[in-house]
Every structure is written in C-alpha cells, then in structure tokens.
Amino acid sequence: MKFSGLVSCLAVVGATVAAPGRKDKHLPTTKIANIEVINTPLVQDAVKLVKNFIPLQPYLYNHLMRSWLYGAAAFNNNATLKASVDLELHAIGTLLHDLGWDMRPDSPWHSP
C-alpha cells in the first residue's frame, strides 16, 4: 500500500471514532441525491476542492462523492451509529481520501 493510501485509510477510520459527544445534529445539513449530509463551510470547501477533478478525472470526483454519500446514507439509517460519528470528519475523510491518485508532476495536490 502506498503512503497516500495508508493516510487515506487512517483518515476514514479516524472519522468513525473521533470526537465522541460532538453534537452534529446542530450543524447545518443539505440533501444530495435525496441523502441528508452535513453542510458546514469546511465540507463545502472540500466539495469545491474535489470538483476541480471533474475536467481532469471525472471518475475520481464521482467516486469521492459516492464514498461520502454511501456512508451518510448508512448513518442516516442507524441513529446509534450516527450519534457515534463525527459527521464533518467523515465527510472530509471520504471526500479527500484519494487525492494522492493524481500523480501528474504539476499536480496541485502534492509537493515534489
């Protein structure tokens, strides 16, 4: 596993155990594909960032959004699980988990 893959896995795993007691229910939400998702400024910025991939690698943007929405849909159908997860961290972890795939030398996502 490449280093970036390891970091990605750790980010997503971290999202599932972080910040117990955080009151995500007070944070703003919106709906995407009829799935309720958290909608904080940080999440909006992450979505904006991954949208940069649409002209370059459309499959990557779609994969990142599906990853986030799949998890959000699972949380929305299990209140116990949803209460134990930092939904903002989950959103950021899933949205950014594959940015290391962009291996172009001029990629803005990694330094030389």
Angle at CA of residue 12, ends 76 and 104, nearest 5° = 125
Q: Is 80 in the site for ligand NAG (CB under 6 A)?
A: yes
Region binding ligand NAG by CB under 6 A among candidate stretches 50-58, 62-70, 75-83, 100-108: 75-83
Determine which residue in the list 78, 103, 104, 108 makes contact with ligand NAG, applying CB under 6 A.
78
| Closer residue to ligand NAG (CB): 6 or 74 | 74
| Closer residue to ligand NAG (CB): 25 or 51 | 25
CB distance 8 to 110 below 8 Å = no
Task: Find the shortest distance in angstroms from Cβ 75 to ligand NAG.
Answer: 9
Task: Find the shortest distance in angstroms from Cβ 71 to ligand NAG.
Answer: 12
Q: Is 81 in the site for ligand NAG (CB under 6 A)?
A: yes
Give SS3 for 90.
Answer: helix
The Cα 89–Cα 86 span in angstroms is: 5
Q: Give first-to-last CA distance, the chain, whole Å.
A: 20
CA distances from 108 to 52, 53, 105 (A): 10, 11, 9
Structure tokens at 98: 């594959």
| Closer residue to ligand NAG (CB): 52 or 78 | 78
What residue ranges bind ligand NAG (CB under 6 A)?
Answer: 78, 80-81
